[in-house]
Amino acid sequence: MARLRKKLVEQHQDLVAQYRRATKKHFWSTLDVVAWGEKRGLIHLRPIDPRRALAEEIALAMHEEYITDPQGRRVRAKHAARYDRNGKQETLWTDIREKNPATRRHMQIAFQNRRQQIVGECVQLKLDIDSFNENWNSGAPIQACFDFTDDLADRGLEMTA
């Protein structure tokens, strides 16, 4: 499945490259690329699995469900954690308000998963900024700060050890 996914990603990247060569546009939307590719017969819309599509919609809905906790904080109610079961990745959800030992472990995994996503985004942002500054930036270097203490404080949150 991973190999098939990579092949599809590469096909999509190639389509964008073709679109850019043909249109010479500096800015574009993904819908522009799809319309352009479809018009030229380079891509064909795939049938959608209604169960998978609905499952993705439900996941988005759960991701966007917030509650107010007893201290008045707006927090996400549902949390996903990725598990590796018999070599297969599986995502399971729970509600933050559940009270049992299994939920605590699930929340630890969910929070660690999200933290790793944030770290990954920061690593990629740093690489992107450094590359832009060293290779394509004609002005003053763009700076980035990865200490979020002030950002959290600006939003009324203290960092605790």
The torsion angle over the Cα atoms of residues 85, 53, 57 and 106, rounded to 10 degrees, is 0
Nearest to 95 by CA among 87, 84, 103: 103
Cα–Cα distance for residue pair 96/90, rounded to 1 Å = 19
d(CA 78, CA 75): 9
Instruction: Retrieve residue 55's tokens.
Output: 């499952």
**Residue 121 corresponds to which tokens in the numbers above?**
């985004």
153 SS3 class: helix
> Which residue in this structure is represented by tokens 């949150």?
157
Confidence of residue 1 (pLDDT cuts 50, 70, 90): low
What is the pLDDT averaged over residues 96-112?
90
Give the model's confidence band at 4: pLDDT under 50 very low, under 70 low, under 90 confident, else very high: low
Amino acid identity, residue 86? Answer: N
Alpha-helical (H) ranges within 24-161 are 30-39, 50-63, 101-135, 149-154
The answer to whether the CB of 66 falls within 8 A of the CB of 39 is no
**Average pLDDT in the 27-34 region?**
94
CA distance linking residue 32 with residue 30, whole number of Å: 5
Per-residue pLDDT averaged across 79-106, rounded?
90
- Taking only the tens place, the pLDDT of each residue in 119-143 is 999 999 999 999 999 999 999 999 9
